[in-house]
Structure 1
């Protein structure tokens, strides 16, 4: 297989891994791979055709590749043209699979698929641009593909809110401007012989911002169930011979099971019990900080003098570290407090200006 074709496949694999990574944060109502494939194909082809058409039109005015491959061209031409093209691709995808757009996270997911399609097709053109392009293709596979996906996430966010929540179309325009600016900065750094060393740092910041957008959409997802509500009905089974990590009781314990986790209740002390794995799932699903469990552990002291490790002082580890005990109300309050803090942090300290974000939240 020629190296340039191998490079295109490499960029495709990297892009798919990024989409799968983003999809892993679509916690409550995951999109099907078939729908995502449709978005990748239809959105990618549409966006590339639109971008090529605009670039050909601009050549009439002498704005060829050499003329726009500058810092000024990055901000005034490349960023706006390519982000507008990807928005057009998203519009086509929305028309084709409108019913799949049923939560805010979907806007980000499908926009990411469109951006991936755009990047893969663009990489193919670069791969066939002539001799000596192999190093450029490797660069584009590892850098440009994740960059394209990250720039456009905010457009998918705004588009969903416009179509499904009746937000003004002006919010989409603002998102398009923001994405174009992010894209323009990236290309300006890439074209600069003095500042291109900042490219990876900048990309890291943009990817972090994309993750925060996805995080916020999870927090406000209509499919996120109430934590306490999952304990309203038991599984009708009992767990035998489990020693309560709090009081030591080995009496049978009522089991609660749902699609997210399992837990049981100790009637002797009133605490609920879950495995270390299940408590990790609880915090990931109901308070998606995307932190390792170890970073959430703090010591907690009980009134009887015991000191145990806990998850934010709301779920407590037994002596062997494999079982965790908690009170539903206390843990539910802690999860909600974490979500409120994350939402406020995103709005106030986002990489994107808070004034611009008011367009989306108000």
Structure 2
């Protein structure tokens, strides 16, 4: 192996590790061991590549839209699913949270894409540029294709036999892969590439957030959840109107305050988004926060009038335990609303999410 080849492989691997760390950051409640993810990316990626190369020996592929879906997409996505089934034999203990199916098949897809990048780069005079460009498109694409299969598979092995969900997931992944390749192969459809790319990536992130809403590893918000930081903050308490320098507290990356007089939790402005992200992951936290901050008057967010949003100070105010109960209830409502959507809900249910209601796993 020449020094140039070593540099190409090293550069592609470095980008892969950075992506792997980013993927791991989405696993909010119970992060998978980084070394385990790295091993799955390497050995799962090699396994998926080997299976796909074997299958390609029996299929003639042309660069057109139909072959992109029914040959390339089906072969490569089936290879990733088989690789996940194989590595699952070695990671059963870590495969314990509902989002782990997506996290681990994403690692396999990443390994697959990095190896594919090396193959392309070694045959190109501008190897580094090839790796960079493919890392911004093909790598993210591979990650975005396969999550459906990861979701269906963990439901199959941990919750309920889900053979129809696995078949649907494989079909969706192959279709997503085929759409990506198809718009690139067909010159008249090239203009759709950015749109297809964004839709695939956003769809994958949304499904991950929906599954996070079912996680049993998410902590419940109680009086003991927040830890004092030893600081005070300048924040008005909308409930009692007495505290002006409440104690600063923190949980996860949510910074808040506790009123010295009434004991209400005070969550200000941007931290409302962090609170929503953690406790209501399926909801668009940014949009929810913007809707709150646009309000012209203070109002209670619940029917029991326990959760107060003060428009003047941009502060959410409630007893921690009562806020926790409200967040848990609205998280369930978020899940039910999404699964009740006409087309999207039908697809998600038949991927296997109907077996999750009302479970947290």
Q: TM-score, normalised by structure 2?
A: 0.80
Aligned counterparts of 2:342 and 2:176: Cα–Cα separation in 1: 14
CA change 1:74–1:250 in 2 (3 A) is closer
Matching of residues 1-362 of structure 1 within 5 Å? 12=13, 15-58=16-59, 63=60, 67-129=61-123, 137-227=131-221, 230-231=222-223, 244-246=236-238, 247-250=240-243, 261=254, 265-266=258-259, 268-269=261-262, 271-274=264-267, 276=269, 278-288=271-281, 289-292=283-286, 294-298=289-293, 307=297, 314-316=307-309, 324-328=316-320, 331-332=323-324, 334-336=326-328, 338-349=330-341, 354-355=346-347, 357-362=349-354
Aligned counterparts of 1:357 and 1:233: Cα–Cα separation in 2: 33
Aligned counterparts of 1:147 and 1:232: Cα–Cα separation in 2: 42
Aligned counterparts of 1:88 and 1:126: Cα–Cα separation in 2: 24
Q: What runs of 5+ residues in structure 2 fail to find an aligned partner?
A: 355-361
Once the two structures are superposed, residues 251-288 of structure 1 have per-residue CA deviations (whole angstroms, 9 ceiling, x without a partner) of: 99788765565655436445323455654432221112
After TM superposition, give the deviation of residue 37 of structure 1 in Å: 0.3
Aligned counterparts of 2:172 and 2:217: Cα–Cα separation in 1: 28
SS at match of 2:352: helix
State which drifts further: 9-18 or 200-209: 9-18
Aligned counterparts of 1:5 and 1:357: Cα–Cα separation in 2: 46
Aligned counterparts of 1:76 and 1:353: Cα–Cα separation in 2: 25
CA RMSD of aligned residues (A): 3.8
**Largest Rg, 1 or 2:** 1
After TM superposition, give the deviation of residue 186 of structure 1 in Å: 1.4
Task: Tell whether the 8 Å contact from 2:152 to 2:162 is kept in structure 1 after alignment.
Answer: no
Once the two structures are superposed, residues 289-320 of structure 1 have per-residue CA deviations (whole angstroms, 9 ceiling, x without a partner) of: 3533752424667xxxxx45999994545866
Task: Tell whether the 8 Å contact from 2:162 to 2:352 is kept in structure 1 after alignment.
Answer: no
Partner of 2:357: none
SS at match of 2:317: strand
Aligned counterparts of 1:234 and 1:280: Cα–Cα separation in 2: 16
Task: Tell whether the 8 Å contact from 1:104 to 1:221 is kept in structure 2 after alignment.
Answer: yes
SS at match of 1:325: strand
After TM superposition, give the deviation of residue 342 of structure 1 in Å: 3.4
Task: Tell whether the 8 Å contact from 1:8 to 1:124 is kept in structure 2 after alignment.
Answer: yes
Count of residues in correspondence between the two structures = 347
